[in-house]
């Protein structure tokens, strides 16, 4: 019962009307008067806060001011950074694959042969497949050339 009374009294206090009066201190002349309720003031301050928040966010999000916020940055620069990072990574992988390829070619020419390494990259596997294909095509071309020479003689 007391909770209902407290809720009701709180609601009633929000609906009570108060008068804000601005008086001239010397003549006690009324310059300005407002009739206010606490509920009206809460609604007014809440609305002003929401509108100001919306305006500030809009100002930052849709103007060049966003570049001054740490981590927000220019979209074009961020895109270019991602592209350059990807290029650097692919160049690094390509260099490693070429180094591995040159080392293996040197090993093959020296007569050393080893098994396939455990952690081959996609580029390395692709290079191996291309080399195998080129090797097969060279053998096929040599065989056809030999067959032609044998058939001619």
Domain identity same for 29 and 81: no
pLDDT digits (tens, 9 = 90+) for 52-102: 999 999 998 888 888 788 777 677 787 888 888 888 888 888 888 888 888
Per-residue pLDDT, averaged over 134-149, amounts to 74
- Say if residue 94 is in the same domain as residue 42: no
What are the tens digits of pLDDT across the range 88-118? 888 888 888 888 888 877 777 777 766 555 5
Residues spanned by the domain of 8: 2-66
Instruction: Give yes or no: residues 43 and 101 share one domain.
Output: no
Q: Whole-model pTM? A: 0.45
- Same structural domain for residues 81 and 138? yes
Q: What is the DSSP annotation of the chain? A: -HHHHHHHHHHHHHH--EEEEEE-TTT--EEEEEEE-HHHHHHHHHHHHHHHHHHHHHHHHSSGGGGGSTTT--HHHHHHHHHHHHHHHHHHHHHHHHHHHHHHHHHHHHT------SS--HHHHHHHHHHHHHHHHHHHHHHHHHHHHHHH-
Taking 90 as the threshold, does the pLDDT of residue 22 lie above it? Answer: yes
Chain mean pLDDT for the chain: 81
């Amino acid at each position: 019962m007391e909770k209902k009374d407290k809720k009701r009294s709180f609601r009633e206090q929000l609906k009570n009307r108060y008068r804000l009066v601005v008086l001239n201190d010397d003549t006690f002349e009324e310059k300005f008067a407002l009739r206010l309720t606490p509920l009206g003031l809460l609604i007014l301050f809440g609305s002003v806060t929401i509108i100001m928040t919306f305006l500030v966010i809009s100002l930052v999000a849709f103007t060049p001011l966003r570049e001054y916020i740490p981590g927000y940055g220019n979209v074009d620069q961020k895109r270019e950074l991602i592209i350059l990072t990807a290029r650097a990574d692919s160049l690094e992988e390509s260099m490693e694959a070429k180094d591995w390829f040159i080392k293996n070619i040197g090993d093959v020419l020296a007569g050393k042969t080893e098994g396939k390494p455990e952690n081959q990259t996609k580029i390395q596997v692709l290079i191996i497949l291309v080399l195998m294909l080129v090797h097969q095509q060279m053998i096929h071309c040599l065989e056809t050339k030999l067959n032609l020479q044998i058939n001619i003689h």
